[in-house]
Amino acid sequence: MSDASAGDAARGSVVTGIWRRVSGASRFVLHDPALAAATVLLGLLVLCAIIGPLVWRQDPLGIDVGGALQPPSTAHPMGTDGNGRDLFARFNEGARISLAVGAAVVLSGVLVGGLIGLAAGVLHRMVDSFLMRVLDAILAFPPLILAMAVTVGFGVGLRSAALGTMLTTVPYYARLLRSDVMRIRVLPHVESAVALGASPKRIVLRHILPHAAPTMLIQSAAVFGYSILTLAALGFVGLGAQIPTPEWGAMITDGLQYSLTGQWWIAVFPGLGVLFAVVAANILADRARDILDPRGELSRV
């Protein structure tokens, strides 16, 4: 067989393997109605955030006083607000903001909280005690109150709200990973590696982190929904994004003043966006736990 034929055969086997994995995952999702619904909902929101502004080219900040408070129609699928701004364009931009902040919160939690939890789990007991006391001080405040305090302290706005949301998730990542690391450290294969003289770096990278990854993945799915809800809550009370920024929480607040006069669509559509994103994330977190931890051995998220 020539080199070209061998290369084509290798590429064909790789493509076949990928196709089998995708097909298997698709069949698994389709056999779970709740997981399928959550996947579809989250996929639609991602499409609204990425493709929506490219397809629907209305300006989310454009004011048209003559077209204010129009109900949903073909010209405006979600209607218009009190200043004539197209709500579908604002919904798409709100999806982009919420999903981007949710992803940033998850990433910061994994990196910062994971590093703290790993250090507390593998280093000296004094380091563990110091880090845990600092985290206990943060956890003494209710998460939403702490996020509000951080937002006010750094100045009202979207960036401060995102920073406050990030701070509230770090202790949960850290404590969760710490407890998981301490559980993994006493497993027979890890103790065997220590007895054989494996370096601490090798033990962490080859034996601890791979076994802790499922716990962090489940936590990340849950935190993603929490971050979207918290960001919307901060925007709703006026501490997050400010009007006219098209953030879902701020849009709900803006729409409440029109609810009593019959313009329900202004608050309902961004509210549905928050609802769908949070429900989808929670379902994915529950299903990820069922798949990755069928015997219930991981720490409860």
Which of 115, 130, 108, 113 lies closest to 224, judged by CA? 108
- Predicted structure pTM score: 0.84
How many C-beta atoms lie closer than 10 Å to residue 169's C-beta?
A: 26
pLDDT in tens, the chain (301 residues): 454 454 444 445 545 545 555 454 455 556 778 888 898 999 999 999 999 999 998 999 999 989 999 999 999 999 999 999 999 999 999 999 999 999 999 999 999 999 999 888 888 788 888 999 999 888 888 999 999 999 999 989 999 999 999 999 999 999 999 988 888 888 888 888 878 888 878 888 888 888 888 888 888 998 999 999 999 999 999 999 888 899 999 999 999 889 888 899 999 999 999 999 999 999 988 888 877 764 454 444 3
Q: Exposed/middle/buried for 294, CB within 10 Å: 0-12, 13-18, 19+? A: exposed
**Residue 109 and residue 174: Cα distance in Å, rounded?**
8
| β-bridge mates for residue 80, sequence order | 86
